[in-house]
Structure 1
Amino acid sequence: MQPRGQYGLLLWTILGIGCLTWLHHWTFVLPYVREGLMVCCGLSLALVLAKRWRLANPRLTRLIFGLFGLTSLLFYSQIMVQERLTQTVPQAWLHETFVVQGEIVDLPVRTPFGVRFLFRPSEQQADERLQSVAQSGSLPRLVSLSWYDDDLPSEKLRLGQVWRVPISMRVPHASLNSGGFDQEKSWWAQGVRAIATVRVNERTELIQRPQLIEQKNGVWYGLQNWRAGALAKIDGMLPHDEMDSVAVFKALTLGDQSDISASSWQLFQRTGVTHLVSISGVHITMLAALVMWLVQRLWRRSVWLCAWMPSIYAGQWLGVLVALLYSLVAGWALPAQRTVLMLFLWLVLTRLGIAVSAVRVLCLALLVAVVSDPFCVLTLSFWLSFGAVAWLVLAFSMWSEDFERMTNVSWRMRWRRVVGGQVATGMALLPMSVYFFQQAPLFGVLINLVAIPLVSAVVTPLLLLSVLSLMLFGWASSLLWANDFLRWCLSALTWLNDRLPEAMWKADLNWWQALLLVGFGVLLVNVWRRGWRVVAAAAMAVIVFGLSMMPKERVPYGQVFVHVLDVGQGSAVVLRMNDEVWVYDAGPRYGSDSDAGLRVLLPFLRDARIDVIDKLILSHDDADHTGGASSLTKAMRVREVVSSIGRDRLQTLGVLADGYVFCQVKQNWHVSGVDLIMLNPEERLRESALASDNQKSCVLRVEAAAQGQWRSFVLAGDIDALQEARLVVLPTGGVRRWPTDVALMSHHGSNHSSSAPWLEAIQPKIAIAQAGFMSQFVHPHPWVVARYHDMGAQVINTAQGGEIRFCLGCPSAGLRQYRQTQPYLWRDMSNAQQVLRKNN
């Protein structure tokens, strides 16, 4: 294929993937796909007739057949989408418990409260309602099932087991904030259409207790259960005081990343080696290349073997086979599947002479991937794994085109090509990392020059050999030695990170900027001999880089951009002013190694290009409000903490800051034309041992100087009705003179707060509840919602709307609920909205 034809195919492939991604995001496209396919079919038929009459233009022919293939892909994807949309949890099921029979289809993962795994309901169900739904195709085919520790059975949960368990199901729903991970999108891409919990209590005992039906056997089940046994042995053999190295050990060998701590992930992100910890495309490709080289060197020593098969062929086949076996042992994750697919297609097509072009192999692999799973374009791993392998293929394209010539190339030239390929891959992944994560380590390219060959060629094979020796011969000493070596490597990485200057490329790339930067890399790899193109591409990259580094629009003087974040059952609000950024509360803790600081606040602040928090207000000592403070303050500088909590207690919680101040009534700050006034607590109340922590909550009033639709906002923490009554009549700055436009519901909308006197005093137009989805506390309480409605206030819940943002002092408040701005296919909130209306 000529170069022009190669890049024409690549262009059509990129266009197809882009349209497929767009189709998944925007629902209004679906009705027009069928009509587009019919039009393309008619054009293709006309083209065939014209070609028969020798009237067809070659360029027009390629265009029409390209459009036909594109619309066929979209139509096929539309069928898959509509089939997945039919799988849903009926609203009538949300408060019921059903006995469901199904199979465990992945390894159970430990959580802070029990285990979680994917559960596939069987086609045959004993329950008549379930059976009727299953026959109609509406029963969710994949369920994310949680099983609490107190209810776990005596039998060990294993992949391939068929259980009959009582469960309660709900629609997939997760917190949604700008800059954060979209868990609902991930569930949709995996095919998870229901979230369920095993219910073993007095009520379910009357129905049926969990019952193990059978254990399925087979190669896949045996391999994965062997993997589970190996993970258990590694945990039992290695010391528990070295959990960081043990977690990385399991990730590199068997693909289990569940135990890697948040601090370790931060270290890997700062040094740019995150892709090496997972079973990624670069990792598997480099391992296959190492095996290929070793086999080729050894194969040449046998005349009989070379006569039977050339050494280059043997090395390639065994390299791909090792990549396949390693991917299977490591759990056969999606990035590993795509990498093995690309390597296999590259090998088969080049050996058969069907596709001697690396670009054609790449396009065919992408086509096979999206046809086998049209939802893969929604996963982050699709872009990163395919992107990394694609850049390796392009960088080493001369190997696939004429690999035999490599035997006559000097070692110096080989190392230059290897290093050049790694640099090209690292540079290509920089804009992708910035696009997806809003930051990328600039020193990561240099670190990976050593880390990639070290991890792929030395560390991983050594760890794999130690695991095999343990499982086959019971040699625990090799496991300990390998872990010591891995711990030394992690210590070296930590030492390097501590001594390297902070060099993170922090930006908010648009999709077109990232695409232009990747295009610049393509030009460098493929037309590097044509200097004028390199100069033009470099100029384009500088322009795009400059655009990406331009600061975001600053908040005008006298105005406040308010972001009420969706953190579940907790509180976190970001106030952005012209010169300062304040954060009110840091959200809850979700587990031993996960909190709102890591999962919500930090991604949001990075997306907004905020590096420093001027004031962090922690309203009171409650895990729902301080759970993410430690992670937040360790990752970002905080100039001052204002709280009703003492400094010693804050330091015990791990809250770091330049200064600590008690919140107290009559405190007043004037920042960039904005008045921020503290309404609670009094010093006597704060020091009282009889008052509850909720009553000591810092109550903050924000008032913008600029004239606008809304000007004031009250954040009341978790004060109860008694403290609200005190504030109403408090002689030293009570709230009787403080009507407000927007109010954050006291105590998330608890029935013990938001009393009538308080509402009459603040008279809000908008009331916002920060509550968990289908919260067991029933927040906001229906009675409280009714009281706000009687006052004429509009009630908004973050559980329903996601992140809520608005502006104080702006001509238009610009109230926006983040969930409503993204009406994607997986945002099917019909059932969720009915539940929320029922609770309210």
Structure 2
Amino acid sequence: MFSAATLTSAWPRTVFAALLGVVLGTAVQLQQPVLWPAWVYIGFGLLAPVAYALAAPKRIAMAVTTAVVVLAGMALGVGSTGLRAVVFASQSLAPTLEGRDLRITGVVTDMPQRSEAGLRFRVAVEQALLDGQAVEVPARMDVGWYAGGYALAGEQIGLQRVPAEVQAGERWQLTLRPKAPHGGINPHGFDFELWLWEQGVQATAYVRAGDKDVPPQRLGQTWRAPVALARQALRDRILASVPDKRAAGLMAALVVGDQAAVDRSDWDVFRATGVSHLVSISGLHITMFAWGAAWLTGWLWRRSRRLCLALPAPSAALLGGVLLACAYAVFAGWGVPAQRTCLMLATVALLRLSGARWPWPLVWMLACAAVVALDPWALLQPGFWLSFVAVGVLFATDSGAARAEDTGAGGSKHGQSSAGLPQGRFAPLGGSALRAARSVGAMFREQWVITLALAPLTLLLFGQLSVVGLVANLLAIPWVTLVVTPLALLGALLPGVWDVASWAVALLWQWLAWLAVLPGAALVLPLPPLGLGLGAVVGGLLLVLPAPWHVRALGVPLVLLTLLWRPALPAAGQFELLVADIGQGNAVLVRTARHALLFDAGPRYSLESDAGHRVLVPLLKALDVTLDTVVLSHRDIDHVGGAAAVLAMQPQAALLSSIESEHPLQQLRRAQRCEVGQIWEWDGVQFEVLHPQPADYAANPLPKPNALSCVVRIGTGQRTALLVGDIEAAQEARLVQTWQGTDRLHADVLLVPHHGSKTSSTPEFLAAVAPQWALVQAGYRNRFGHPATPVVERYAEARINLVSSPRCGAMTWRSEQPQNVACSREEDRHYWHHHVP
């Protein structure tokens, strides 16, 4: 893979091995389910120099020396990352403070994010009081300040004072109710707890601003967050000055890195067309900014003879380009792609200024290790892998190697967002038509190389690949990089320019929207196992490397294995329940050999977020599930909140429900009423509706929605599951009376009625069902107290195993293995995950 300028001498090989070891050691430490004591990590750190000393050149064979240096680097990576994690974990929120009202004094450190529900912002805590006494809390909290009457998912906040205008850098005194970071843990799902850990947050909270609470108090502006304050001011100017909401959101994302300003539906189009990388502050944006800044710096520098005598104009241009590009990266949020690009730019600049000529693998690995040293948990971000693999591919192919000689320090990148290396010698604009044509051709070739090489990695990380991505990027990359982004930045000085930028965004959107609706625009595949996915990544790299055709052909079967892989399904006559971790609500996926049913669709979390978009749609895509039927037990928002997103994704699915004929969901899919006696069979598994009765729909007065909950029995003849929605004691008694003398109510596994409410799970009902397992879907520290303590005791007295989603995460039960319930929190446990006592 390495070309002429490879690691042939001792020092580059040794340095490369050490840096590689640090990255590998960090990756190993990130796999730990629990942390070791601090002294163990200190020991690993002390072991590193000892191992390196043993590998001194000329003492042992080259291969052994390299291996020992890698091990020394790994020891350093494990030790340093583990010690940082131990120190950070020691600052977590005390369990005794969860749910208590604290009076917090602190400074807003980041741009507040406003939505229809209210505000979210980060607070650096300066003082915390509980009943007037000082207490220790985490240094940073993620805070929500919700609007009047808003109900947070699973926790009623009550009538609130409308959130004030909060600015970065302000010092506030607030009454907060904190809790430990806790999010849903689902197969292939977003890890909310890791996301907060990476950002140094160990507590979430919401503002208590009701009539009986001490009012929030603004204490004044500080200079603790000047960059965030400037970013907020510019973002607010863009959103206020640009009438087109779509254009305003895109420009805010490009200028200040506020990706939350982009509408969710717009993100769907960006993903379908493979241009999501352009909406973030990517390596390409920073590279082009560096190129323009270097050209401008050099042009201005040459105007002064004195400056040129003090420092040659090319050197000044190089330094100016790197410094200004890094300043832009900081202003735009300093994400991982920005960090990597700035480190790469700085490394190349220093090497060129010093006259050194390092081989590209060493430059690449140095930037990689520097990013990992700065943020070890960046290794768990998809952007890290897409970014560095793209750079490595361009270096390893003639796209990057050909330019390595020009930079004297390892290549450059043109036309692909995830690379971001300096453009040759920052040559001034212009040149012959032939040279321009060659540059355009090189850009197209590089885009093709990157698209092909990253396709397997993209499928491994996201389970989706844009088929039209190559075509979309050929226009979108130069248009966003050379037109939209410069205009959006220039608009900060000349606001009238934003009107032109809006026009440019409108043209781009027409192009992308047309591509997004083409048949087969995006390829969605189930997420493969890690080993198979890594094999496909290797195959993709083999296909683009400058190697003999018979070597490159080896990549074809590796890629095809991943494309053809499908997840295992239950055998004929068996079924599986996947009880999703969606907070306070119900959502259960039932799969047989060739069919699937979704029982309820989870809650709506806020006015713009629900379990369908956040959990169920990604889960169904990752598992390659095509639903035959969606059952919505009743109309409550914690059961139908995500239904619209699921139904939009699954147009073929039939809808069975007790929702009224006027319900808004009826406009998306006409629902058939669920009524006792409905029976169907899939792959040897029988499904039967046990409740409600047809007469219940005509009762006067109409029963409460809970009383109309659909009850579905699923059985193989030997193993049975019972899904009951939010039925209460009266409906439980009726079921016991109706099916007395039969085995219709007996089940091996029961979805606990009404999330464990005191109004359900009567002793008579539990005796009739007599399950081995009872599964509770409830929100962590939900306001209802589900599952209620008396109900938990009732299950214990009946010797029924009670498993709850806050402790277990997503729960999986299979009819062929009825003695086990698999918990996602246990199977995918990491030390940053919250342990529920």
Q: Same fold (TM over 0.5)?
A: yes
Q: C-alpha distance in 1, partners of 2:524/2:552?
A: 20
**1:507 Cα deviation after fit:** 3.9
Looking at structure 1, the residues matched to 347 and 712 of structure 2 have their Cα atoms a distance apart, in angstroms, of: 62
2: CA distance, partners of 1:590 / 1:580 = 29
Q: Equivalent residue for 1:332? A: 334
Distance 2:165 2:18 in 1: 50
CA distance in 2, matches of 1:438, 1:671: 27
CA separation in 1, counterparts of 2:644 and 2:296?
Answer: 48
The alpha carbon displacement at 1:16 in A equals 3.5
1:171 alignment partner AA: A
Q: Secondary structure at the match of 2:30?
A: helix
Aligned counterpart, 2:154: none
Show CA shifts across 1:462-490 (max 9, x none).
Answer: 222223212xxxx4xx3233223312321
| 678, 702, 718: which one aligns with 2:714 | 702
Contact 1:727 1:735 in 2 (8 A): no
* 1:285, distance to aligned residue in structure 2 (A): 2.7
Distance 1:698 1:812, change over 3 A: closer
Root mean square deviation, CA, Å: 3.2
SS of the aligned residue for 2:325 comes to helix
Q: Which residue is 2:147 aligned to?
A: 149
Distance 1:202 1:662, change over 3 A: closer
- Aligned twin of 2:417: none
Compute the displacement of 1:570 (Å): 0.8
Indicate how the Cα distance of structure 1 residues 33 and 354 shifts in structure 2: closer, same or farther if over 3 A, else same. farther
Cα shift readout 1:536-567 (whole Å, capped 9, x = no counterpart): 13323433332442222232011001101111
Amino acid of the structure 2 residue aligned with 1:237: S
1:802 Cα deviation (Å)? 0.7
For 1:367 and 1:281, locate their aligned partners in 2 and report how far apart those are by CA, in whole Å. Answer: 17
| TM-aligned CA distance change 1:507 to 1:535, over 3 Å | farther
Contact 2:124 2:139 in 1 (8 A): yes
Is the Cα–Cα contact under 8 Å of residues 695 and 723 in structure 1 kept in the other structure? Answer: yes
Higher mean displacement: 258-267 or 291-300: 291-300
Query: Are 2:373 and 1:362 equivalent residues in the alignment?
Result: no
Cα distance in structure 2, aligned partners of 1:543 and 1:126: 59
Residue 468 (structure 2) pairs with residue 443 (structure 1): yes
Deviations for 1:772-817, whole angstroms, at most 9, x for unmatched residues? 1100011111122222222221111112211000111x15543111
Residue 722 of structure 1 pairs with residue 730 of structure 2: yes
Deviation at 1:202, TM superposition (A): 6.1
- 2 CA distance for matches of 1:575 and 1:8? 54
Q: State the partner residue of 1:109.
A: 113
- Shift in alpha-carbon separation, 1:129–1:592, aligned structure 2, 3 A: closer
Q: 1:560 to 1:75 in 2, by over 3 A?
A: same
Partner of 1:3: 6
- Residue aligning to 1:684: 695
- Tell me the CA shift for residue 15 of structure 1: 4.9
Offset of residue 250 of structure 1: 1.7
| CA shift in 2, pair 1:154/1:632, >3 Å | closer
Shift in CA distance, 60/167, structure 1 to aligned 2, threshold 3 Å:
same
Distance in 2 separating the partners of 1:294 and 1:447: 31
Judge conservation of contact 1:280–1:336 (CA < 8 Å) in 2.
Answer: yes
* Match runs of 1:45-124 below 5 Å: 45-47=53-55, 55-122=59-126
CA distance 1:650–1:618, shift in 2 (3 Å): farther
Letter in 1 for 2:174: V
Q: Name the structure 1 match of 2:825.
A: 819
CA distance in 2, matches of 1:766, 1:812: 9
1:159 aligned to which of 156, 168, 173? 168
CA distance in 2, matches of 1:730, 1:588: 31
CA distance in 2, matches of 1:17, 1:8: 14
Equivalent residue in structure 1 for 2:380, among 378, 381, 387: 378
TM-score (ref. length: structure 2): 0.87
Letter in 2 for 1:227: R
Q: Which residue of 1 aligns with 2:620?
A: 605
Residue in structure 2 matching 1:571, options 583, 586, 598: 586
CA displacement, residues 687-743 of structure 1 (integer Å, 9 cap, x when unaligned) = 3352122111111000024x4xxx111111111212222222237x99774211111
Match of 1:636 in 2: 650
Give TM-score, length-normalised by structure 1.
0.87
User: Which sections of structure 1, spanning at least 5 residues, go unmatched?
Assistant: 134-138, 834-840
Higher helix share: 1
CA contact (8 A) 2:736 2:745 kept: no
Aligned mates of 1:266, 1:202 — CA distance in 2? 41
CA contact 2:569–2:591 (8 Å) conserved in 1: no
Is it true that 1:545 corresponds to 2:560 in the alignment? yes
* In 2, Cα distance between equivalents of 1:453 and 1:563: 45
| SS in structure 1 of the partner of residue 708 of structure 2 | coil
Alignment correspondent of 2:354: 352
- In structure 2, relative to structure 1, the CA distance for the partners of 1:223 and 1:552 (3 Å cut) is closer
2:181 to 172, 187, 202: 172
Q: 1:499 aligns with which of 496, 509, 518?
A: 518
Q: 1:357 to 1:687 in 2, by over 3 A?
A: farther
The aligned residue for residue 231 of structure 1 is: 235
Task: Provide the identity percentage.
Answer: 30
Q: Rate the CA distance shift 1:152–1:369 in 2: closer, same or farther, 3 A.
A: farther
Q: Which residue does 1:136 correspond to in 2?
A: none
Q: Deviations over 1:720-768 (max 9, x none)?
A: 212222222237x997742111111111111112223322222222111
Equivalent residue pairs, number: 794
| Structure 2: distance between partners of 1:105 and 1:13 | 33
Structure 2 Cα separation of the partners of residues 681 and 259 of structure 1: 45
Contact persistence 1:145–1:196 (CA under 8 A): yes
Task: Output aligned runs, 1:523-602, within 5 Å.
Answer: 528=546, 530-531=547-548, 534-602=549-617
**In structure 2, what is the equivalent of residue 836 of structure 1?**
none
Which deviates more, 689-698 or 61-70?
Answer: 61-70
> Given the superposition, is the C-alpha separation of residues 650 and 466 from structure 1 closer, same or farther in structure 2, using an over 3 Å criterion?
same
Task: Give 1:650 shift.
Answer: 5.0
Secondary structure of 2:255's aligned partner: helix
Q: Is the partner of 2:706 in helix, strand or coil?
A: coil
Partner Cα distance (2:352, 2:530) in 1: 33
Q: Indicate the residue corresponding to 2:24 in structure 1.
A: 18
Residues 299-356 of structure 1, C-alpha deviations (whole Å, 9 max, x = no match): 9999999888777555544443442243233233343233222222222223323353
1:83 corresponds to which letter in structure 2?
Answer: V
715-724 or 223-232, larger mean C-alpha shift? 223-232
Match of 1:838 in 2: none
